[in-house]
Structure 1
Amino acid sequence: MEGPVENRRTQERPKINIKVSGEHNAAFSISPNDMLLKAALEQNIDYPHSCRVGVCGQCKTKLLAGKVSPMVDLALSPLTNQEILDGYFLACQGKVRGDIEIEVRLGHHHVFPEQQISGRVSLWKRLPGDVIELRIALESPFFYEAGQYAYLAESGSFTRRCFSFSDAPPLDPKVGATEVGFLIKRLPGGRFSEWLFEKDRTGIKMWLHGPYGVMGVDEPNADGLCVAGGTGLAPVLSIVEHRLRTSATACFTVVYGVQKQADLFGMDKLTTLASRHPGRLSILPVLSHEPENSDWTGARGLVTQPLDENLGVDFGSVASFICGSLPMVAAVEQRLLALGVNPERIHADKFLPSG
């Protein structure tokens, strides 16, 4: 794709000029044919991103001049047809062909450099819903933000998978975490999750590589609406815990969807947070496949069902955080837009099986 004006200068290292609101505020160079997002993050550019595989749309960028080749089928892109016509592309899938000028929103989160740290499993615990709570005691401090994720791998294995942190990071950004937690669902046939579920992995050495993503970024004192499907609860727990601790006023509503009552893992963590911050956290579990004759008296149906004017949320001002499978997140996004949520305040993490 090409911007309105193609810059035909050829250089060994193409130059990227970044504009925000019509003013230059950053510039850097990359190697020819590099992916824009990868190169930006390697140089600690504060670039928005989450999935890094062309699904989430967080790295949406407008091309003002120059040439970028998209490495993903535009028919499968999260960008709308109008956005593509207006010159938008995904930085994670954009191969830079020469000098370019772009417009993107920067500077809204702190960039921690990628870290690769080893540790040992300190907790391996089966939870309802075929989920493992995994905790890793680290050999050195690890720095990350609420809502981010990292790659995990057993020491000596080439199989690695990404999972969101379920813990809030330390309050002091200069102090790294010495232990981190994850909620990992068994994926039938999944190489990593099947290995993890075979037996208690306490004491096993593992590697942690990250952090990635910017899902938890918004105005610190804004009220929040979180919608989580399954283990999408992990980043929600991280965000809610962190924001309740750092803001004296922000209140949260968490809509949490699973299939059956027997799948409700993590409720103890949510209720503990609610008891620590009285009146500031509302929890609404929703069951999609609970038998009609069960003793469940709570909400039923899809996780989008409770999202209406009766939820008690000011949709015009709320910051929303959505985490779960791609179809679930897409449905929730559309529902929130229809309810008047500002699209700039919809932050999503779309989980995809890998491997």
Structure 2
Amino acid sequence: MTAQAGAPTAARADLCRITVRGRDGSEEVFDIRRNDLLLKAAIEQGIDYPHNCRVGVCGTCKTRLVSGRVSPMVDLALSPLKNEEIEAGYVLACQAKVRGDLVVEAKLGHHALLPVKTVSARVSRWHKLPGDVIDLRLKCDEPVHFHAGQYCTIAESGSFTRRSYSYYDVPPIDEDAPATEVGFLVKRLPGGRFSEWLFEQDRTGTKFWIEGPYGIMGVDDVDVDGLCVAGGTGLAPILSIVGERLRKSSKARFTIVFGVRTRADIFANERLNQLLAEAGDRVRLITILSHEPQGSDWKGPRGLVTAALTPDLGVDYTSVAGFLCGNLAMVEAVEGRLIELGVDPDRIHADKFVPSGTP
């Protein structure tokens, strides 16, 4: 993909000069090596570039190419970009190999971007929950910083199998005293190399590596009411975001729509009940079951999570911020439904799970 206008030139022949124009008039200029991925290089240089999944699924890093040339790593027809966006010159920064000097436009933020770092850790808690989920906690050998809604990659020491999971913890109040232990919710996936290994036996004491943090899902006005929709272990970043906002805001209220297959799959009662007890009437929980047997005595709602998103839900769709996390199909369906109901697309923050190995 090529545009006509020229871009400032890097000082060295093996480097490319990148000029990123923000929608608010801000501008970032930096150099990267030819054939490097635009987003990866920007993050490594501390540029507050919008991103979440980093694998070409979520669309958060969409970027308009003003001048220069990139090579997409994925077929744009299979990307979350709309046809009109592709025709207007948009690419996904996480999948764009830089071929020369560039000028691009992106929604640069003010997210207090945290540096990505790698730390060693050991499993301090390995606890099986209902629904084939493990509550995995890691004790870090050095403190780690993260924002609510962010995620990291984790791997057993010595293994090349790395997987991404969202923190479910609320970040520490004191930013000068970062977390020394972090937790994740890991769903067992049939055939999944990491999750099957994790479920084989109690892994307490096993050494891990953590790399992160990544993502900007939790960014929005802390005083805005939140509508949170979680599918399965997509509940993890929701717990983090809601917990932090309850602490930072005295007035924001939250509705959490939590979807699992059956009542036997409700895996987070302990943490949800703790959150509800601390929040009082500021948090409302709606648990919806998609595959609960018809003959059961379940009195709650049934169906996909979108079935709970109606005009009668009791939220002002025109003013809420949406926080969505779950599998790709679920999140895309919820995004479409919320827009139909009047939610501002710029206030919908999504984290889409795509299992490793999925085409």
Contact 2:14 2:34 in 1 (8 A): yes
**Structure 2 partner of 1:302:** 304
Q: CA deviation at 1:4?
A: 5.2
Tell me if 1:268 matches 2:267.
no
Aligned to 2:29: 27
The CA distance in 2 between the partners of 1:196 and 1:122, in whole Å, is 14
User: Could you say which residue in structure 2 is the equivalent of 1:5?
Assistant: 5
Identity rate, percent: 59
2:9 touches 2:17 (CA, 8 Å); kept in 1?
A: no
Q: Alignment partner for residue 162 of structure 1, among 158, 161, 164?
A: 164
The residue identity in structure 2 corresponding to 1:277 is: A
Q: CA deviation at 1:248?
A: 1.1
Q: How far off is 1:51 after superposition?
A: 0.8
Residues in 1 aligned to 2:201 and 2:267: alpha-carbon distance in whole angstroms: 19
Aligned partner of 2:125 in structure 1 is 123
CA contact (8 A) 2:8 2:17 kept: no
User: Does 8-17 or 66-75 show the bigger shift?
Assistant: 8-17
Write out the 4+ residue segments of structure 1 that deviate beyond 4 Å after TM superposition. 6-11
Does 2:28 align with 1:36? Answer: no
Give the structure 2 partner of residue 71 of structure 1. Answer: 73
Number of the residue aligned with 2:136: 134
Matched residues in 2 for 1:116 and 1:83: separation? 35
SS class of match (1:44): coil
* Per-residue deviation, 1:21: 3.5
Residue aligned with 2:220, SS: coil
Kept after mapping to 2: 8 A contact 1:215/1:348: yes
TM-superposition CA deviations, 1:222-279 (whole Å, max 9, x none) = 1101100000011111111111111111111000000000000113212211211211
Q: SS of the residue aligned with 2:199?
A: helix
Residue 328 of structure 1 corresponds to 330
Q: Specify whether residues 51 and 21 from structure 1 end up closer, same or farther in structure 2 by C-alpha distance, changes over 3 A only.
A: closer
Structure 1 residues without counterparts, runs of 5 or longer: none
Instruction: Encode CA deviations 1:302-337: one digit per residue, 9 max, x unaligned.
Output: 110010111111111111011000011110011011
Residues 1:150 and 2:152 aligned together: yes
**Maintained 8 Å contact 1:17/1:24:** no
Q: Which amino acid aligns with 1:143?
A: H
* Equivalent residue letter for 1:34: D
Shift in Å, 1:24: 4.6
Q: What is the rounded CA distance, in whole Å, between the counterparts of 1:72 and 1:99 in structure 2?
A: 21
Task: Provide the C-alpha distance between the structure 2 equivalents of 1:220 and 1:111, rounded to a whole number of angstroms.
Answer: 17
CA distance in 1, matches of 2:154, 2:51: 19
- Mapped contact 2:14–2:33 kept (Cα < 8 A): yes
Q: How does 1:1-355 map to 2 (within 5 A)?
A: 1-3=1-3, 5=5, 7=7, 11-21=13-23, 23-355=25-357
Secondary structure of 1:300 counterpart: coil
Secondary structure at 1:304 match in 2: helix
CA contact (8 A) 2:18 2:103 kept: yes
Whether contact under 8 Å (1:8, 1:66) holds in the other structure is: no
Matched AA of 1:16? I
Contact 1:257 1:302 in 2 (8 A): yes
Offset at residue 9 of structure 1 (A): 6.0
Moved more, 95-104 or 299-308: 95-104
Question: In the aligned structure 2, how far is the partner of 1:245 from the partner of 1:331?
Answer: 30
CA separation of 1:175 and 1:3: change in aligned 2, threshold 3 A = farther
Query: How far apart are 1:22 and its partner, in Å?
Result: 7.1
Q: Aligned in 2, Cα 1:3/1:171: closer, same or farther, shift over 3 Å?
A: farther
Instruction: Give CA deviations for 1:162-221 in whole Å, capped at 9, x if unaligned.
Output: 111111111222321111000001011111111110111111111111111111111111
Determine the C-alpha separation between the residues in 2 that align with 1:223 and 1:213. 21
Amino acid corresponding to residue 52 of structure 1 in structure 2: R
- How many residue pairs get aligned? The number is 355
Q: TM-score, normalised by structure 1?
A: 0.97
8 A Cα contact 1:150 1:163, kept in partner: yes
Q: Tell me if the contact between 2:9 and 2:16 (Cα under 8 Å) persists in the aligned partners.
A: no
What amino acid does structure 1 have at the position aligned with 2:113?
Answer: V
User: Bigger shift: 59-68 or 337-346?
Assistant: 59-68
**Letter of the aligned partner of 2:2 in structure 1?**
E
Distance 1:233 1:114 in 2: 23
**For 1:289, what is the secondary structure of its paired residue?**
coil
Gap runs ≥5 in structure 2: none
CA RMSD across the alignment: 1.5
Distance 1:127 1:108 in 2: 37
Q: Which residue identity is paired with 1:109?
A: H
Structure 1 residue 6: Cα displacement: 5.1
Inter-partner Cα distance in structure 1 for 2:8 and 2:143:
46
Which residue type is aligned with residue 327 of structure 2? S
